[in-house]
Structures are given as structure tokens and as C-alpha cells.
Structure 1
Amino acid sequence: MKVEGASIYPFSEQHIEETYLTPSYRIDLRNPVNVAPFINANVVSDWSQLTWKDVGKPYEVKKMAKSRLDWEAEHSEPMPVKESWKYFNQSFHEWFVKDVPTAIDESKKRFKEKLKRFQIKEVKSAIGDVVQISLWNYVHRIEDGIWDPRGKRALFEDLDLQKPRILFLGAAEGYEAMQLAAMYPGSEVVLVDYDEYCKTHRFAEFPSTYPFLGGNPATGGLKVWYKDQLNIEYVVEDIRNLSYGREFDVVMSVGLLEHVPDEHKPEIMDMHRRFLRPGGYVIMTTPRNQLKSRMYYRVMADVMNHTYRELMDIRQMGLYVYESGLDIVRHGYIKVHNGIVAKER
């Protein structure tokens, strides 16, 4: 990638409608106008008439990461939830910062070396490494399915928000809240995660040169924003212990609801409603239950599967949301996630 006049802020409005590949991720400043990055599914017209008998239960991902299985074998007990998140966050971050083309070349080289010796276990392991890095390259770097900026912008657009206060539960690196804040200039963002590693590494090392396409309050048009231009506070705390009142215009989570079985989902939904101002929005995404997602979590198990995890369809996700006392304003699909915008009933 070569950008004219590259600096601490290498992208500006002149780069809108362009996309670039870096060694670790994709930059996408294409505006989601006249494309369909968010499919407004409208599969349910009356959520009060939908039942669990109609939709069934989510698909549970059962293949666990080897590091979790090794820990449990050593300690003779299930890995504690907080410990599993520590393992996941560190593993996930290591993949996010990879120089992917170099990693692909190295994995292919290792495979060729193992093949020469033709020791079956080593060859199978080397093949697995090639498959994993190639899949990561496609899903995250080529397709941009994890960050999915065009899909997220389309999900977040046209909300009745002016300089909102945004609370992001289980924030990790905080990507989605930063995108939302760029779209609604003047936002105040509070990121919350109980794993300190998310603050010290996943957020702190999120690239300061990554551009977020958002709004320009001076012109009413588009503007490129960067992490350090946004008003962000990072709080390391268990979200059950937060002392905030009903003071946020948006309470959001990305990939949180699917990490607990049904008996704990009401508590997760209550955490979203507890801090929401009257008239505010709850915004949530969960991974979609589709064949390519099931394959992804199988192949990438050692990277992704340290915690309880489900895959849902939009009706299942929506029913959890509706039964918690929220009315669904918008529901649909982006590349690999379901997306919902809701308000208190």
C-alpha cells in the first residue's frame, strides 16, 4: 500500500471509496451507498407471535481449543470463564497483528520441509497450519468479515443520535464503538472489559493509522477519523459491577450474548438495559449460524474456541432480545454476523 502524503493520519477524504490491503488487515473507506452490506432481513413482522418451537435453539460449538483442553487435563477441572477469556484474547490478538503474507509463506515452507521427512503427524500438523493461516487471510484480511466496516456502518446508520454517550460491553479492542463514534461526531465512548489485556494490548495496540469513515459536522458530509481523535475511556471491570446509571444513549455488545447458555442470557440482556437512557438504543451482533461459520470455528478452534460459544440465526437472536423487554427496530445480516438495533418497550 502506498498513500500519497502518508503521515500519522495517512488517509483523508480524498481516499473515500477506496480500499487497501495491509499485511495484517484491510482498510475499507468505501461508503455503503448503493450496496447491500447490511441485509435488512424483515423475516419477522411480529416478534410477539414468534416462539422457540418455531425457531429452535442455537447451534453450540463444541470443539474446544487444545490449550483449554491441556489446561483442564493439568488442573482436573473445567477452565474458569475468566481464565478462558484471557486465553482467547491473547490468542486472538496474536493473530490480529500477524504479517499474514509472511506467515503464509513460512507455513508453506514448513510444510515442504515436513513433507521431505514424511512423518505423518508432522505433515498433518503442517497442513493444518497452512489451512488456518489461509482461512484467516480470507476471512479477516480479504473479505474483512470480522471488522466488516461497510456492514457495521450500514447497521449503525440513520439513528436518532446527537453526540451520544456509548457504552460497549465486553469491548475487546473497541472497534465497533469507534466506528459508531466516527459516524456520530462528539460521541463519548466508554469501553468495558474485565480482561486487562484488552485495554493494554488489544485496544492499546489497535493501529492508530486505521481510518474510520464517519460524519463531518462542519459540512454534513463524510470525514475520516482516527482512534486518538475520539473521546474514549477504557474501564477494566466485570460488567456486573458497573456503577453507572441509566445514562447512555447506546449500549452495545459484539459477540457477547452467544457466550453464555440460556440460563444466563436474561442477565446478559439486563446488562444492556440497565444503563440505557429512555429512548436509547441497544445494538448487538452475534455470529451467524451458517455453514461457513461452522467450518471457520472448526478449523480455527485453537484460536477461537476457549469459551462457550453458540451460532444463531437472526430469529433466535431476536427472540432473546424481544423477550428481554426490547422492541426490535432493525434486524438483519452482515457478512458473518446477525445485527439488531432495539429500544426498550
Structure 2
Amino acid sequence: MELINAVQHSLRYTEDDAGITELLPSYRVDMRHAKENEKFFNAGLVSDWSNLTWKEAGKPYEVKIAAKSKREYERENGEMSVKASWEYFNRSFHEWFVKDVPDELTQSKRELKQHLSRFRFSEVKEALGETVRLSLWNYAHRIEDGVWDPRGKRALFEGLDVHKPRILFLGAAEGYEAMQLYAMYPGGEIVMADYDEFCKTDRFGHFPDTYPFLGTNPQTGHMKVWYKDQMNITFLVEDIRNLQFGKEFDIVLSVGLLEHFPDELKHEALDWHRKFLKPGGYVIMTTPRLQLKSKLFYTIMADIMNHTYRELMDIRQMGLYVYEGGFEILRHGFIKVHNGIVAKPR
């Protein structure tokens, strides 16, 4: 871990590095502008949301394979609470963000070879599973950069009519998307809210200080590279339901939040986005896309990912929830592995 941090914290990128991409041991630095096929794809599938029905859209795909640790916990303690589910998920997921992936992949393949030579089936099965998970994570997060997806996220966030916005990030985790928004629309404030303290201390706390966010220089209007420690960020460890804000934010953001609520609770999650928004403010939401490679990812990575209720949606399904929740949808479409919606309350 210390070696990884030393490598990843020894570099600072500048505007002169625009256009480069570089693989570090646990993530990709990508300072390229989006190609046409890597931008937010404004699907435009629905011109009038009031005419779309659930019969046409169909229901989301529910991910039902649970993590081994969740199953073991529930055998001993009964049903895992929602808060405990998130705590298990955050710790498990964070371990993968800080891995030296090439090194661990090499070690995993070496161990698999040793187990094969001894013909111990249980060891072979375990080592093979770890090798497959590492290979998939390496492809999804480092090679494709599908989790953070900076070019796609910038394309999703572009064109907002805001100046020095106050940004509220609901269920913030490591806070990536709010930091990208701040870089693009600098000078305001980010408030991150998550009820798991581990997100503040580790997921956000250990997010690399040298990760570059491409954004804007407010003095010149030209490109500027921003870093986490240059941003005005407050991280609140709090249940969203207990936040003591009024309608005071220009942007309310959530990433991968809506799909964790069954239908009978989605209206509550959508109300949180409206509750804290200034008149004329923007709501931005993403959810994981319903596609074959997403189903494969959540199957192979089940022990890391599947501690909570989770759905995969297509953009029509996501949009219909948002529309029925009382929002006017300004843009809807998708990026690499996420649906994206920009909306305002009706």
C-alpha cells in the first residue's frame, strides 16, 4: 500500500499535460478530451415522457446474487440492515480501488499455477476466481476507466447555466463526480453527505491528491487542472434524511443511488433531490446501465459488489422513475456503464 501511494502521490499534472493518458498501479489518469463515441450519448429516446408507460419500458433487472459475506452474516445474525449492508460494501469496494492491480494479478496467476501443479481443486477454484476478478477489475476500472469515466462524466455535466455553484452530493462515497463538477464550474462549494464514516475517512480521505480533474480557469476561461486539495469541500457523516439544509443548492447530485431503492421507496429518494434544490437548480443522477457486460460484472464481482438491494436499468426505465417523481428531464442518455439524466423539478 505504501509503495502504491508513493507512486501515485509523486506526480502532479499541469495544463501542459492535456491530451495524455497514463496507467498507474490502481487507476488510469486520463486528460484527453472525449472522442465522439466516448461522450455522453444523448439518447433522445423519449420526446414526451408523459406518453411512456411501464408496459412499454419494462421493469429494471434486479441483481439477486448476494455477496458471500452478506450470506454468512445473515445466517448468524438474521437480515442485514441497510446501513450494515453499505458499510460492508464500502469497505469491500474500497479495497479494490487501492490495489496495485498488475502486481496482484501477477501474484494471483503465479498462485494459480502452483495450485494447478498440486491438483488441489478447492485451491484451484479459489485462485481462479481471484484471477478472474482481478482481470475484470483491471479491464473495467484501469483499462476502460468505466467506474470514474472522466470523459463521459464531463460530457454529461457540460452546458449547465451555473456560476460558483453550491453542489450537494447525496450518498457521496469517494466524491469523484462532485469534484469533477467543481473543476468545471469552480469557485463554489461542495457538500458531500454519506452516513458511513468510512467514506469520509477512507474512500474520500484516501482519494489520491494527485488525481487531475480537467476543468476551467475562472480568470481566463481556459482549461485548468484541478486537484482535490484545491476545492472547497465539506464532508458530512449524516443520514440524508437528517440533513438540515433548505433549498440552497444549485446542483443536487447522486451517482448510483436510485437503483438501491425498491419501487415503494424510490419516491423518497427522488424527494431528497428536490428538497435541497434552489429554484432553477439542476438535479443530476446516474444509475448503472442495463447491459450484458454490467450483468456479467455484478455476477463475477458479486462478493465485492452485492451487499445491498440493486437494480440495473435502461435509460427509459430510469427516466420514467424520474419523470413520475415530478421532474422535467432536460437531457437523458448514457456513457460507458452509466445512464445519465439532467433534470429540474416540474
Which residue is 1:19 aligned to? Answer: 21
Instruction: Please say if 1:106 is aligned against 2:107.
Output: yes
Higher mean Cα deviation, 106-115 or 8-17? 8-17
1:331–1:341 CA contact under 8 A, matched in 2: yes
**Distance in 1 separating the partners of 2:230 and 2:155:** 22
SS at structure 2 position matched to 1:250: strand
Partner of 2:165: 164
Q: Aligned equivalents of 1:221 and 1:207: distance in 2?
A: 24
Give secondary structure in 2 for the equivalent of 1:332: strand
1:214 match: secondary structure: strand
Deviations 1:238-258 (A, max 9, x none): 000111000000001000000
1:72 counterpart residue number: 74
Deviation at 1:47, TM superposition (A): 0.4
**Alignment CA distance shift 1:7-1:103 (3 Å):** closer
Matched AA of 2:166: R
Task: Give the structure 2 partner of residue 31 of structure 1.
Answer: 33
Partners of 2:279 and 2:221 in 1: CA distance: 27
Aligned pairs, how many? Answer: 339
User: Structure 2 counterpart of 1:286, which letter?
Assistant: T
For 1:34 and 1:300, how far apart are their aligned partners in 2? Answer: 30
User: 1:36 & 1:297 partners in 2: Cα distance?
Assistant: 23
Q: How far apart, CA to CA, are the structure 2 residues paired with 1:47 and 1:294?
A: 27
Q: 1:61 aligns with which of 60, 63, 77?
A: 63
For residues 131-146 of structure 1, the aligned pairs below 5 Å read 131-146=132-147
Q: CA deviation at 1:17?
A: 1.0
Match of 1:262 in 2: 263
Summarize the Cα distance change of 1:231–1:127 in structure 2 as closer, same or farther, 3 Å threshold.
same
Q: Which residue of 2 aligns with 1:45?
A: 47
Q: Which residue of 2 aligns with 1:331?
A: 332
Percent pairwise identity: 67
Structure 2 residue aligned with 1:242: 243
- Residue 33 of structure 1: how far off its partner (Å): 6.2
Q: Distance in 2 between matches of 1:220 and 1:158?
A: 14
1:88-108 CA distance string (max 9 Å, x none): 000010000000000101110
Instruction: Quote how far apart the aligned CAs of 1:223 are.
Output: 0.6
Partner deviation per Cα, 1:37-64 (whole Å, 9 max, x = no partner): 2111000000010111111110000000
TM, length-normalised to structure 2: 0.96
Q: Distance in 1 between matches of 2:297 and 2:38?
A: 23
Q: Describe the SS at the equivalent of 1:73.
A: helix
Separation (CA, whole Å) in 1 of partners of 2:94 and 2:222? 34
Once the two structures are TM-superposed, the CA of residue 125 in structure 1 deviates from its matched residue by 1.2
Partner of 1:89: 90
The yes-or-no answer on 1:312 pairing with 2:313 is yes
Distance 1:279-1:8 versus aligned 2 partners, 3 A rule: farther
Separation (CA, whole Å) in 2 of partners of 1:158 and 1:50: 27
Structure 1 position 122, deviation (Å): 1.4
Q: Give TM-score scaled by structure 1 length.
A: 0.97
The amino acid of 2:209's aligned partner reads: S
State the Cα distance separating 1:7 from its structure 2 match. Answer: 8.2
Q: Which residue of 2 aligns with 1:174?
A: 175
Q: Distance in 2 between matches of 1:263 and 1:117?
A: 52
2: CA distance, partners of 1:31 / 1:167: 26
SS at match of 1:155: helix
Letter in 2 for 1:217: P
- Cα displacement (A) at 1:8: 6.4
Q: What secondary structure is seen at the aligned counterpart in 1 of 2:172?
A: coil
Partner of 1:201, secondary structure, is helix
* Secondary structure in structure 1 of the residue aligned to 2:69: helix
Gaps of 5+ in 1: 1-5
* Corresponding residue for residue 201 of structure 2: 200
Could you say what secondary structure the match of 2:207 adopts? coil
> 2:34 is paired with a residue of what secondary structure?
coil
Cα offset, 1:195, TM superposition? 0.2
**Cα distance in 2, alignment partners of residues 318 and 303 from structure 1:** 28
Q: Residues 294-319 of structure 1, C-alpha deviation per residue, up to 9 Å, x if partnerless? A: 00000000010010100000000000
Name 1:3's counterpart in structure 2: none
Q: Is the 8 A contact 1:9 1:226 kept in 2?
A: no
Asked whether 1:119 is paired with 2:120, we answer yes
Tell me the SS of whatever aligns to 2:44. Answer: coil
After superposing on structure 2, the runs of 4+ consecutive aligned residues of structure 1 that deviate more than 4 Å are 6-9
User: Which runs of no fewer than 5 residues in structure 2 stay unpaired?
Assistant: 1-7
Paired with 2:17 and 2:162, the residues of 1 have a C-alpha distance of 26
1:32 to partner: Cα distance: 2.5
Distance 1:194 1:34 in 2: 38
Structure 1 vs Structure 2 CA RMSD: 1.2
